Amino acid sequence: MSCYIDTSALAKWYVREGGSEAFEKFILTLEDGAALISSLTITEMRSLLARHRRMGHFDGNYESAAWQTFLQDVASGALRVLTVGSAHFVRAAEIIDTMQSTALRTLDALHLALASNHAASVASADRTMLQAARDLELDIHPF
pLDDT the model gives residue 100: 86
Average pLDDT of 42-69? 98
Among residues 71, 78, 28, 27, which one has the least CA distance to residue 49?
71
In the CATH hierarchy, which fold is given to the domain comprising 3-138? Answer: Rossmann fold (3.40.50)
What is the model's pLDDT at position 129? 96
Looking at residue 1, its pLDDT comes to 86
Span 68-83, mean pLDDT?
Answer: 97
The pTM of this model reads: 0.94
Per-residue pLDDT band at 86 (split at 50, 70, 90): very high
Q: List, in order, residues 6 or more apart from 57 with CB less than 8 Å away.
A: 15
What mean pLDDT do residues 71-79 have? Answer: 97
